[in-house]
A and B are shown apart, each in its own frame.
Chain A
């Protein structure tokens, strides 16, 4: 069975659309999954915005992950729950789409994205325009058959160096083959930026355990700021990730995160941690 629209697709119904302006949809998190990282809830919002942008350009161009000014990680999403997702397109032209959006579960915010900028590239470079047009019609009509996503491939970091409570480094080998590459994207496999974000969150979480929290509470990722993806990451690429403490107060911790492929910086962001009870 083809993995296109299954292995890394997180919109299974578009419930309302105002061309080039606003879009709403939903996604049933397959009940059989072990977990559903918050980065995938953010991915769902980005994918919904991408559908709006593609429709507005008559499926000639599509956005890819580029900049996210602010991503608030507000609650956990669990298998079996339904994400209600929405995106507002603030501007759209041949070069970029600017949008904000959110995902909710039972009316409660799970993730919220602000000031996102997606560079536009020709749809045909990544995917089959006719297939996307057909899929959009399905999503706007009866909706897709849910539960296509069967989980992520093993993505493991190998910690290489660090300084207790100050910084930590790790390497990550992007899988050379994985079902998700048949969906993201069929004509040009690219490791998703949201998964790079997820790996960064995991590395940050390990550093967070080394930073003494106030009142014996744990630090948890609260907000990702100024996330930027500089280039496509192909299958099989070796990455080096680093998380570094920038500032600590009793109420929060600010970390700088970055990922490199050799000498080239491929991604960067700042990550705000807050005490667990404040989330």
Chain B
């Protein structure tokens, strides 16, 4: 995806992040780490993802960023006793190319991966989900609509 595509959705995503945290929108730079620079907590990530889903009419499965970063690397080869393996770290650096390399501390705990996420990470995630949604072989993720059955 191009820088132009990212910059096109950045203002809306910055507003969503600013509303969720909440903070002044001027603080939400493209390169801001949501945790280290903006003080986001885990509940804020749920909030941001929920607002992005509503705001961009896309479905973002929880844990999507890490899952996509891992790619076809088996989980056991990515996560070794709670630490990101060397191969996993290489995948992360490629996938999260917007994150400055000095932020990839080693050893990196899997639980600390969200510390790397920046505003741009969420821009890229939305763009990927928008593309997936318009792909010809998309899978429905809607809820079922069967009748409500009474309990005994």
**Footprint of B on A, CB under 8 Å?**
14-18, 21-22, 24, 66-67, 69, 89-91, 93-96, 98, 115, 117, 119, 140-141, 226, 228-231, 268
Contacts and interface: CB of A to CB of B under 8 A. Distances in A.
B143 A17 contact: no
B50 A94 contact: no
B61 interface: yes
List the 7 closest pairs (A to B, CB-CB), nearest first.
Answer: A95-B62, A140-B151, A16-B148, A18-B148, A16-B150, A22-B148, A117-B50
B144 interface: yes
* Range class of the B interface residue count: 20 to 34
A93 B61 contact: yes
Nearest to A142: B152
Contacts of B61: 93
Interface in B122-152: 141, 143-144, 146-152
B148 A230 contact: no
Given A67-B46, A119-B43, A140-B151, A94 B62 contact: yes
B47 interface: yes
B143 A117 contact: no
B41 interface: yes
Contact of B43 (A15, A67, A94, A115): A67
Contacts of B76: none
B41 to A, nearest CB: 6
A90 B143 contact: yes
B3 interface: no
B100 interface: no
Contacts of B54: 115
B152 A119 contact: no
A94 B146 CA distance: 23
Contacts of A17: 148-149, 151
Given A14-B151, A15-B150, A91-B143, 17 more contacts: A16-B148, A16-B150, A16-B151, A18-B148, A18-B149, A66-B43, A67-B43, A67-B47, A90-B143, A91-B141, A93-B62, A115-B50, A115-B54, A117-B47, A119-B42, A229-B43, A230-B41
A92 to B, nearest CB: 9
A258 to B, nearest CB: 10
A165 B61 CA distance: 44
B43 A95 contact: no
A140 B149 CA distance: 12
Contact of A98 (B42, B50, B147): B50
B63 interface: yes
B41 A24 contact: no
Contacts of A117: 46-47, 50
Contact of B144 (A21, A115, A140, A231): A21
